[in-house]
């Protein structure tokens, strides 16, 4: 090194506070040690993490077939109402809130309860769905946990929208899974007499998921705010013979209806979205989960 270059380097060094930079270097070395320790802290913290037990979607379907029990499913809409919030098609009603809490916290195991299998891993859904559930549980997880029984095994509420929330339902693998899944679903009511309780004026579908039932009749409620007419709907349902399978598609009201009718000896399946998901997966090349649930 030439004397001139050596002199320039010495001058450059004097421009820096070497004592300060030494402290900085030591600080970042400390960060490395802290990061190394962090994995142990996370591991220890995970011992206190609770996740509810929820069956997979296909196992949820098989459980319904095997047990022949009634079903009431709770999703974000029901949790919002329980927490005091209105949702798009159902106004907040303190009586409905109380009834939803009653159903969700029942110890009666004569019916299956569903919650969304979104409390933990989210690698089976697309990025928008992941973002939604992360935000939702970031806000409400601890409040919702107060109502859950961590000794109970729930079915997956999202079983009725199978494949709607995945990245791409058009791949050959996804198409094969979808066909196998809904072939299994249709066994639930195969060759049975069913009555569908649904909102008046709601859509009819070209691809009818119930076309393998022995017979289908209907009872109609309001398309929105169905709980306003709950007593009337319940009384109409109570006129049905108890050997008919009842399928309730009335949003949050369906949970209460399934619970009350189950106590009277009826079998009721709260499976809103099932017929719509079947139709969408048959007719739409590009599915946006947000559009599906908003429609």
Q: Report the pLDDT averaged over residues 108-125.
A: 95
- Can you give the pLDDT at residue 108? 93
- Whether 55 shows a pLDDT value over 60: the answer reads yes
Residue 59, both tokens = 């196992």
pLDDT at 237: 98
- Per DSSP, 180 falls in state H
User: What's the DSSP call for residue 90?
Assistant: B
The whole-model pTM stands at 0.85
Residues 6+ apart with CB under 8 A from 257: 197, 230, 233, 234, 237, 248, 250, 268, 270
* Spatial CB neighbours of 81, under 8 Å, sequence gap ≥ 6: 87, 90, 92, 93, 96, 97, 100, 252
Other CB atoms within a 10 A radius of the CB of residue 79 amount to: 21
User: What is the C-alpha R_g of the chain?
Assistant: 27
The per-residue pLDDT for 17 is: 57
* pLDDT > 70? residue 14: no
Residue 3 has pLDDT above 90, yes or no: no
Q: Which range among 81-90, 150-159, 167-176, 199-208 shows the weakest confidence by mean pLDDT?
A: 199-208
In this prediction, residue 27 has a pLDDT band, given cuts at 50, 70 and 90, of: low
**DSSP letter (8 states) at residue 105:** T
The Cα 161–Cα 59 span in angstroms is: 14
Q: How confident is the model at residue 15 (pLDDT cuts 50, 70, 90)?
A: low
**For residue 93, what pLDDT band results from cuts at 50, 70 and 90?**
very high
**Taking all residues of the chain, what is their mean pLDDT, rounded to a whole number?**
90
Residue 13 CB neighbour total at 10 angstroms: 9
β-strand 53-54 against 153-156: which pairing, if any? parallel
The pLDDT value recorded for residue 12 is: 55
pLDDT band of residue 45 (cuts 50, 70, 90) is: confident
Q: Output the six-digit token pair for 238.
A: 């109570």
pLDDT at 86 over 80: yes
- Least confident window among 8-12, 59-63, 113-117, 285-289: 8-12
The whole-number average pLDDT for the span 31-38 is: 70
- φ and ψ at residue 58, rounded to 5 degrees: -70, -35
Report d(CA 247, CA 275) in Å as an integer: 11
Residue 9: the pLDDT is 57
Q: Say if residue 42's pLDDT is above 70.
A: yes
Question: pLDDT at residue 21 above 80?
Answer: no
- 130: its two tokens: 């992941």
Strand order in the sheet with 70-74: 53-54, 153-156, 111-115, 70-74, 267-270, 245-249, 193-199, 215-221
Q: DSSP secondary-structure letter at 71?
A: E
CA atoms within 13 A on the CB side of 63: 21
Q: Hey, what are 7's tokens?
A: 């002199």
The pair of structure tokens assigned to 213 is 């039932």
11 or 246, greater pLDDT: 246
Tokens (6 digits) for 253: 């009201």
How confident is the model at residue 239, as a pLDDT? 98
């Amino acid at each position: 090194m030439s004397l001139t270059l050596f002199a320039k380097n010495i001058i450059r060094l004097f421009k820096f506070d070497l004592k300060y930079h030494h402290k900085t270097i030591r600080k970042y070395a400390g960060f490395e040690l802290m990061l190394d320790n962090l994995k142990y802290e996370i591991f220890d913290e995970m011992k206190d993490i609770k996740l509810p037990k929820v069956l997979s979607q296909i196992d949820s379907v098989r459980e319904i077939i095997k047990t022949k029990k009634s079903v009431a499913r709770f999703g974000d809409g029901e949790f919002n109402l329980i927490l005091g919030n209105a949702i798009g098609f159902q106004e907040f009603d303190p009586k409905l809130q109380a009834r939803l809490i009653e159903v969700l916290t029942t110890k009666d195991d004569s019916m299956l309860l569903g919650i969304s299998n979104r409390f933990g891993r989210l690698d089976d859904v697309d990025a928008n769905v992941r973002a939604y559930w992360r935000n939702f549980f970031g806000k409400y997880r601890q409040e919702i946990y107060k109502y859950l029984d961590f000794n109970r095994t729930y079915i997956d509420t999202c079983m009725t929208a199978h494949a709607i929330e995945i990245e791409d339902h058009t791949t050959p693998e996804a198409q094969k899974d979808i066909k196998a899944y809904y072939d299994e679903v249709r066994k639930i009511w195969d060759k049975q007499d069913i009555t569908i309780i649904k909102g008046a004026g709601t859509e009819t579908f070209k691809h009818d998921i119930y076309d393998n039932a022995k017979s289908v009749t209907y009872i109609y409620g309001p398309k929105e705010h169905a709980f306003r007419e709950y007593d009337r709907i319940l009384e109409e349902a109570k006129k049905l013979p108890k050997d008919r399978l009842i399928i309730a598609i009335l949003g949050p009201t369906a949970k209460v209806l399934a619970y009350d009718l189950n106590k009277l000896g009826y079998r009721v399946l709260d499976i809103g979205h099932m017929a719509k998901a079947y139709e969408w997966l048959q007719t739409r090349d590009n599915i946006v989960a947000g559009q599906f649930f908003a429609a």
